[in-house]
Amino acid sequence: MSTEEKKKLNFIEQIVHNDIEMNKHEGRVHTRFPPEPNGYLHIGHAKSICLNFGLANSYGGKTNLRFDDTNPTKEETEYVDAIKKDVEWLGFKWEGTELYASDYFEELYQFAEKLIKDGKAFVDDSSVEEIRAMRGTPTVPMTPSPNRDRSVEENLALFRGMRAGKYEEGSRVLRAKISLTSPNMHLRDPIMYRILFAHHHRTGDAWCIYPMYDYAHGQSDSIEKITHSICTLEFENHRPLYKWFIKHLEIFPSRQIEFARLNLNYTVMSKRRLLRLVEEGLVTGWDDPRMPTISGLRRRGYSPASIRNFATRVGVAKRDNVIDLSLLEFSVREDLNKTAPRVMGVLDPIKLVITNYPEEKTEDLTIVNNPEDESMGSRTIPFSKHLYIERTDFMEDPPKKFFRLGPGRNVRLKGAYIIHCEDFVKDENGEVSEVHATYYPDSRSGSDTSGVKSKGVLHFVSQKEAVPVEVRLYDRLFNVEAPLGHEDKDFTEFLNKDSLTVIKNALVEPSLKDAKPGDRFQFMRMGYFCVDPDSTDEHLVFNRTVTLKDGWKKK
């Protein structure tokens, strides 16, 4: 690799690259994605997934999927299944079957006994609160536990008693014996095991002591011989502790590398908070299309490629930053622009009558599905005397720059004819209910010999064939860029009350009749839409993924 190419690598790729050059671990690259199964994955996890699997893919390595399921009280099988589905959907394949930190409980227990035997761990009869009170501050040393100098024999007997269920929950813990004075608080005799009479989703009631995350996590990486353990910045000052365990257990030295977590504005991203939105019924579920979860984005219509491209575009940083939601939207537009068929759907219909068009006649117009990609072919749409157009595409008294419909104005109907607006009708409430126009018979798209000028192009559907559908429009979940960190206000107070608008009576062209949940389309001029799983054969429901940035550019 040239120096120029090397410069283009991000800092993690540089580390991996150098390790390979130095033949560290025989040039192996083995990463892992280690979610805790206590909620559904969100877009921040997607970033981490793309990074870990992406590194392995670039360097001929492997990636494990390991559930960090050391905390029995918050974890559920539902989450395990959802996480597997999301990783696969994003397009990644983990090495072998999925792994569980809980599979290492016995090995971790034996590691702990080794530390006890080496005088590096002790059983403390203090409560967690007492331990916290003795901890000191970075400049004030910790008060040593009265049990710190117990004999190896006594420690072993007590720890085995803990495992055997002899002691009450909260009555004892196992602690590493590291330091009373380190300014790194994680090194001040951290807790390794606690007693919990809790049922675990995989090990059942086999255990009544559970390892702390900080004890289990690094060792799990070592057991799997992970070469590069990538994690987020908040674990940077846990690294000395992980290294201490590795050194004293003489186990495989996985290298931890920290990067800045992904933050997005106008949303929240921790599972704990997302769980609150779900539990308090503030959203319809983990996969509510307004949620920043992978399942929510999928339901909303995001494609796996759009999320992967977003992750690449965001890059990896060493400092915390906040990414603008518009970058995520840009990524999905960019992808769907190329891949989604363009169809016509009218969200707020108003009748349009072509007065000089024969009453019974219907023409089938051929329209290409996506001008960006010829291989996507074409389809026909019906044209007739009675149509619907978008209410906002007509103005009774339009300003000059309004290139849509108004009395006396010309406009082209997409793939069809140029029409001339003659008149309009109002209902008893004074609202325009019907627009009347004449068409120029020799102005048909593709064979226009009329010489008639028109500026705008409008989408439409034919009344008789139109398919009524429900459309759900979304806005940001929160009203403010940063819903967290307000001293006197809970983040839920910043929820956007107008984040969902339901349109019950939208109309789409008949080619969409057999669309299936997950199918994505561009509704010309109205945005990108995806069929929602709430749909039935009789009644389609569409989610708007994102609006189009621009209206049609005239061709």
Binding mask 29-68 for ligand ATP (x = CB under 6 A): -----xxx-------xx-xx--------------------
If binding is defined by CB under 6 A, does position 270 make contact with ligand ATP?
yes
Residue 35 interacting entry, from Mg ion, ligand ATP, none, C-beta within 5 to 8 Å by type: ligand ATP
CB 388 within 8 A of CB 507: yes
- How far apart are the C-alpha atoms of 176 and 185, rounded to whole Å? 13
Shortest spacing between CB 36 and Mg ion, in angstroms:
5
Q: Which positions from 219 through 248 interact with ligand ATP, judged by CB under 6 A?
A: 231-232
Q: How far apart are the two ends of the chain, measured CA to CA in Å? A: 45
Residue 446 phi/psi, 5-degree rounding, is 90, -25
Q: What is the pairing mode between strands 99-100 and 410-413?
A: unpaired
Minimal distance in Å, beta carbon 254 to ligand ATP?
A: 13
Q: What is the DSSP letter of 429?
A: T
Contacts of 163-171 spanning 24+ positions with Cβ under 8 A: 163/109, 163/207, 163/208, 163/209, 165/197, 165/208, 167/195, 168/195, 169/195, 169/196, 169/197, 170/127, 170/128, 170/194, 170/195, 171/125, 171/127, 171/195
36 is annotated as an active-site residue: yes
- Binding partner of 261, given ligand ATP, Mg ion, none, CB within 5-8 angstroms per partner class: ligand ATP
Q: Which partner, Mg ion, ligand ATP, none, binds residue 77 by CB below 5 to 8 Å per kind?
A: none
d(CA 28, CA 424): 73
Residue nearest to Mg ion (CB): 36
- Does the footprint of Mg ion cover residue 36 (CB under 5 A)? yes
Q: Which two tokens stand for residue 56?
A: 């392995």
317 binds ligand ATP (CB under 6 A): no
412 binds, among Mg ion, ligand ATP, none (CB under 5 to 8 A by kind): none
CB-facing half-sphere around the CA of 472: CA atoms within 13 A: 20
The residue whose two tokens read 């002591």 is: 209
Q: Quick one: how far is CA 86 from the chain centroid?
A: 9
Residue 511 phi, psi dihedral angles, 5° rounding: -65, -15
User: Which residue number, 269 or 325, has a Cβ lying nearer to Mg ion?
Assistant: 269
Stretch near Mg ion under the rule CB under 5 A, chosen from 31-39, 105-113, 129-137, 519-527 = 31-39
Q: Residue 269 binds what, of ligand ATP, Mg ion, none (CB under 5 to 8 Å, by partner type)?
A: ligand ATP
Catalytic residue among 188, 261, 342, 444: 261
Q: How many residues bind Mg ion (CB under 5 A)?
A: 1
CB 139 to ligand ATP: min, Å: 29
Report the residue number, 59 or 259, with the smaller CB distance to ligand ATP: 259
- Shortest separation between residue 41's beta carbon and ligand ATP, angstroms: 8
Binding partner of residue 47 among Mg ion, ligand ATP, none, CB under 5 to 8 Å per kind?
ligand ATP
- Greatest alpha-carbon pair distance for the chain in Å reads 102
Residue 238 CB: number of other CB atoms within 10 A? 20
Indicate if 271 belongs to the active site. Answer: yes
Which CB sits closer to ligand ATP, 232 or 339?
A: 232
Verify binding: residue 124, ligand ATP, rule CB under 6 A: no
Please enumerate in sequence order all residues whose Cβ is within 8 A of that of 188, keeping only pairs 6 or more positions apart, or say none.
Answer: 135, 136, 142, 178, 179, 180, 182
Residues 376-405 that bind ligand ATP (CB under 6 A): none
Q: Which is nearer to ligand ATP, 320 or 498 (CB)?
A: 320
Q: Which residues would be at the binding site for ligand ATP (CB under 6 A)?
A: 34-36, 44-45, 47-48, 231-232, 261-262, 269-271
Active site residues: 36, 261, 271
Q: Which residues would be at the binding site for Mg ion (CB under 5 A)?
A: 36
